[in-house]
Amino acid sequence: MNTLTRLPLTAQAVVDSPLGPLRLAATAHGLAGCWFNDQAHHPGELDAPENPRDRFIAQARSELDRYWHDAVGTRFMVRLDPQGTTFQRAVWQALRAIPAGRTLSYGDLARQLGKPLAMRAVGAAVGRNPLGIIVPCHRVLGSDGSLTGYAGGLHRKVDLLGREGRPMPLAA
């Protein structure tokens, strides 16, 4: 059972994006999830009413709409309520500090967190990010600058980085 199935979710909604539908989920405290329908670690069915007018969902949708038109200039300000371990939340917070158009390696991120030998643990936390795009895990690359996994699919990672002024070729 994943963490979100035990959460008191207050609302969910599916919103369109240029990269496919996104499911947004909120608690009373903030946005708890933003997933592509076909991505890895998608929580599946959520026990929450459909409510696109929920304040956190509406704000996230508005900010995502701005992002699709100006990825570099958009700052996500919606209050977040990601569910994870203390370590995961620290990694997700560090991801939010990576500016659009910039990238870091998993090793860089581990060093920033004061855990230089925890590259695999950092990678696992990045992969479990429940707030893709808003918490920009797509900005993390391999130590050699290469594309690495992305729960939403590498084609989406390439698109997101390109929107942010960091074009990356999709390996054949």
- CA–CA gap between residue 116 and residue 113 (Å, rounded): 8
Do 55 and 65 contact (CB within 8 A), yes or no? Answer: no
- CA angle at 140 for the pair 136 and 143, rounded to the nearest 5°: 175
One of 4, 137, 140, 168 is an active-site residue; which one? Answer: 137
Residue 133, number of CB atoms within 10 A of its CB: 25
Q: Quick one: tokens of 88?
A: 């995961």
Residue 137 a catalytic site member: yes
What positions carry a catalytic annotation? Answer: 137
